[in-house]
Amino acid sequence: MIPRLLFRVVPAEPHPVWDAYWARWQALHPTWDFIEYRDPIDPAAFPRTGHRFAGCYNGRQLADHVRLEALLAHGGVYVDADVCPLRPIDQLLDLGCFIGREDDEWCCNAVLGAEPDHPAIRSMLTRMLTYDIDYPEEMGTRCVSAVAMTRNDVTILHRKAFYPYSAYEAHAHSDWPVPDAYPTSYTIHRWARGAV
pTM score over 0.85: yes
| % residues pLDDT > 90 (the chain) | 77
Nearest CA to 190 among 5, 17, 6? 17
Q: What is the pLDDT of residue 175?
A: 60
Q: What is the pLDDT of residue 53?
A: 96
- What is the C-alpha to C-alpha distance for residues 83 and 22, in angstroms, rounded to an integer? 9
Q: What is the pLDDT of residues 92-115, one digit of tens each?
A: 999 999 999 999 999 999 999 999
Confidence of residue 172 (pLDDT cuts 50, 70, 90): low
In DSSP terms, 83 is beta-bridged to 189
State whether the Cα torsion 19-25-26-28 is positive or negative.
positive
Q: Which CATH number fits domain 5-189: 3.30.930.10, 3.40.50.300, 3.40.50.2300, 3.90.550.10?
A: 3.90.550.10
Q: What is the pLDDT of residue 19?
A: 95
In DSSP terms, 154 is beta-bridged to none
Amino acid symbol at 64: D
Q: What is the pLDDT of residue 143?
A: 94
C-alpha angle 178-182-183 in degrees, rounded to nearest 5: 110
Q: What is the pLDDT of residues 181-196, one digit of tens each?
A: 788 999 998 887 545 5
In DSSP terms, 101 is beta-bridged to 107
**With 80 as the cut, is the pLDDT of residue 84 above it?**
yes
Map out the domains of the chain as residue ranges.
5-189
Amino acid symbol at 42: D
Confidence of residue 173 (pLDDT cuts 50, 70, 90): low
Q: Rounded to an integer, what is the distance from CA 30 to the centroid of its chain?
A: 20
**Average predicted confidence (pLDDT) for the chain:** 91
Query: DSSP alpha helices (H): ranges in 88-160?
Result: 119-128, 141-148
Q: What is the pLDDT of residue 190?
A: 85
Q: What is the pLDDT of residues 21-77, one digit of tens each?
A: 999 999 999 999 999 999 999 999 999 999 999 999 899 999 999 999 999 999 999
CB atoms within 10 A of CB 122: 16
